[in-house]
Amino acid sequence: MRARSLSLAALVVACTGPPVEEPSATTPRTLDEKGWIVFLADDPQIFGTLMDSGARGGWAAFHKNDYATAAQLFQDQPIPRARAYLELAIYQNDLARLSREATLRTYALWEEKSGIPEGSALPVVAALAAAESGDDAGCAAWLKKAKPRDPNVQALAARLETRLSEWTEPQVAEGPLVACVWAHLQTRATGESLLLGEACPTGPLVTEQAPDHLRTFYNPMVYGTEAAVALRSAAVALRAAGSDDASLADPAASAIDVDALARAAGDQEQALDALLFSPWWTREDVIHDVEDDPSLRTAGAQGPTLQALGVHGPTPKEESIEWARGRARTLSAQLDRWQKTELPKGDGLQLIDELQIVRQYEGKVLLAWARGALDEGRPHEALTFAQMALDAERSREITPVNGPGLYAVLAEADLRTGRTRESLDALEVLTTRFPEVEGLDETVGDLAILQGLDRQGDSKEN
């Protein structure tokens, strides 16, 4: 498919409002390019041509936030395939953050409420979660409390005296738990997941017998490793996009060439591949995000387009839910004004409406803001952004607006603001589509039970 250039006429928003440093929905702004949304609205046949190019299934899955399916269907489209894997990596990183937070909160409260069960693996798994978070002091503190009965857990505890980044290949005698953690580390280093299936069976990391039930402890490394595998796949796809010889792909996930996305966005033949259904309207947005944060975790959070729409300005020193609500409302108002004044009536506008493109874009920006707020330790603002990103009419399912990353961020924001039950509601949506989230859901469920206790003990401690 040969797409037209995205360099189009300027967008001018209405000319009233407060000074530049305090933008609102009426502040005048201009865009040097219309971007891909207006591009499709001007000529919807371009979208039809793209769908007839053999990529229909991949784009349909991508639009629905089904990135795993999209990645598999984009076999001959390296840029869209890389974008699908990048989205998967970002989502898995969301789960990794939540898993570490939930594990440490749950086990700390478990100890507080009823004490560490005698001979349990609990402190060792908590130490692993702390090590995974880069918290050396927390890891050491948990290891001091560890008196595991299981020799395999003892071996893991001994290994965790060493930072994960400094581990060397273990001996067979160190047992399956050390081998499993090593397999995760090797998978992250190479992007190859073949070792995991043999070294780390599906299910809990440790299971131990309590008086009347089994205690289960899940591996807090799982999602971080899945993110590394997805990132390596994105790196391979991006390398293939710039070379006729796919065998040149660098196997190291750290070698990902995100600049290739910016190059593709400026290429007439690949512009839509790089921009369609993204939080980037133009190549300038891609360049900004690639330079600002190559991980693209908060892609779309800022950049030329948002500045042109008047959605920018300083973050308050103290966390403010009202500021977050106002910022989200400004975004919505500006997009509504832009859509009414700039999109041409007719088949193009119908296409934009049917695909919920503007609403999807708004949701992606709000999700990026929520992730950024979590990164900055502002969970109430993160929760506000995430709640306003949610399509409330279909709040219990994954849709073109409600992607899996949104539910993962909602779950973390809920957890960090003391809304553990609501965190479970978000995780319930994910478990219906992603069975691998069930262990995380169980951990957060344990935390909810512990928080509700007014006496010692629950279904797992004794």
Cα 113 from Cα 106, distance rounded (Å): 10
pLDDT-based confidence at 248, cuts 50/70/90? very low
Cα 420 from Cα 406, distance rounded (Å): 16
The upper half-sphere exposure of residue 329, i.e. CA atoms within 13 Å in the direction of its Cβ, equals 8
- The backbone torsions φ and ψ at residue 153, rounded to the nearest 5 degrees and listed phi first, read -70, -35
Average model confidence (pLDDT) across the chain: 86
Q: What confidence tens digit (pLDDT) does each residue in 333-374 have?
A: 999 999 988 888 889 899 999 999 999 999 999 999 999 999
Alpha-carbon torsion (355, 357, 363, 368), positive or negative: positive
Q: Which two tokens stand for residue 146?
A: 């560890």
Cα 145 from Cα 119, distance rounded (Å): 10
Indicate if the pLDDT at residue 20 is higher than 60.
Answer: no
Q: Name the 3-class secondary structure at 3.
A: coil
Average pLDDT estimate for 282-293: 89
Q: Which two tokens stand for residue 221?
A: 């490394």
Cα 86 from Cα 293, distance rounded (Å): 13
Q: Where are the alpha helices (DSSP H) in 11-135?
A: 36-42, 45-50, 56-63, 67-73, 78-114, 122-132
Q: Which residue has the tokens 């992250």?
A: 188
pTM, two decimal places: 0.88
Nearest to 234 by CA among 453, 67, 116: 67
Indicate if the pLDDT at residue 426 is higher than 70.
Answer: yes
Q: What confidence tens digit (pLDDT) does each residue in 66-78 have?
A: 999 999 999 889 9
Query: 58, 272 in Cβ contact below 8 A?
Result: no
Give the number of residues written for the chain: 462
Indicate if the pLDDT at residue 258 is higher than 60.
Answer: yes
Which pLDDT belongs to residue 141? 98
Which pLDDT belongs to residue 210? 86
Cα 420 from Cα 197, distance rounded (Å): 32
Q: Which DSSP symbol is given to 315? A: P
Which pLDDT belongs to residue 33? 57
Bridge-partner residues for 215, per DSSP?
208
> What angle do helix axes 78-114 and 122-132 make, rounded to 10 degrees?
140
